[in-house]
Homo-oligomer: A and B are copies of this chain.
Amino acid sequence: MHITGTFLDEISHDIPHQNWSQKEWDKDFQHMKAMGIDTVILIRCGYRRWITYPSKVLKEREGAYSPPIDLVEMYLTLAEKYGFSFYFGLYDSGKYWWDKGDFASEIDINLRVVDEVWQLYGHFPAFKGWYLSQEVSRKTGKIISLYQDLGRRVKDISNGLPTLISPYIDGKKAILAQESSLIKNDAVSLKQHEEEWNEIFDGIKEVVDIVAFQDGHADYDELADYFYVNKLLADRYGMSCWTNAESFDRDMPIKFLPIKWEKLKLKLEAAQKAGVEKAITFEFSHFMSPQSAYPQAGHLYQRYMDWKK
């Protein structure tokens, strides 16, 4: 179970920025290539007023700030250079579907973004898929409608390019980064998880091709069961089942630094045992890159490479 994809977490919720230029990104794609990565996924093209490309839509309608560089163009160019598939992550308003539960507005702004983006970047040969960036752990609000409407539109406009979602498990470690605690008491049960995701998958099976659950919110000894259920559900509805192997450590008071290699290895092995088809990580550049600001990341890279051989 090798890691062959990574998110690109520019426009981050909670991971401090490394302030890289095009030069460092090119170098990072080289490191990714050496590790066996073939897929990069932009986690989101924008969050609130911060955006990755000079979007007229988001500047006019959401008051977004003009970004210093066009990250989407840069990533697509680098992906082409290194032979990677690039997945484009949709916009996260950080408000409509968060506090207000206004999924209609979240859909509306994203439909406009999709049109704009496809016109601007659809011709790049590395543009190979879409990431529906609204991440949930439960049947939250009208999340099924949102995935349906956005999934259908991106597939229609792009001649059926694949769509990916990356939900999380509402497990004991499903804690917001800005909360100081590490464990919560009201985790979901495996049965409840299965019931809710069965219903969600049934609702989105025609417009979502790949599901890559985040692997960091349940305890390590519970993971095998969750992998098993997730694979079962994905198979039932004809979806591909990937794992989103988190390469940061959720068990430590500093939120977040690179994960202990032993933990990442355990998670990859559990995913393999369940027949999961591909592993991607959140994310390479902070937590596994030899040039990361966190030197533990470079050592994690070396441990991974030693093991992979």
Contact = CB atoms under 8 A, between A and B. Distances in A.
Contacts of A177: 253
A68 B263 CA distance: 10
Given A14-B253, A299-B20, A180 B182 contact: no
A266 B179 CA distance: 28
Nearest to A265: B68
Max chain B Cβ within 10 angstroms of own Cβ: one of A259, A299, A300: A299
Nearest to A14: B253
Contact of A19 (B21, B63, B255, B296): B296
- The interface residues of chain A, by DSSP majority, are classed as loop
Nearest to A19: B299
Interface in A4-31: 14-21, 24
A204 B65 CA distance: 37
A219 B294 CA distance: 28
Contacts of A18: 295-296, 299
B259 A17 contact: yes
A309 to B, nearest CB: 13
Contacts of A249: 16-17
In the complex this chain forms, how many copies of it are found? 3
Interface string A269-299: 0000000000000000000000001111001
A178 to B, nearest CB: 5
Contacts of A255: 253-254
Contacts of A294: 293
A116 to B, nearest CB: 20
A306 to B, nearest CB: 7
A304 B265 CA distance: 37
A220 B65 CA distance: 10
A288 to B, nearest CB: 10
Given A19-B300, A67-B262, A68-B265, 14 more contacts: A15-B252, A16-B252, A16-B258, A16-B260, A17-B249, A17-B258, A17-B296, A19-B296, A19-B299, A65-B262, A68-B261, A68-B303, A253-B256, A254-B256
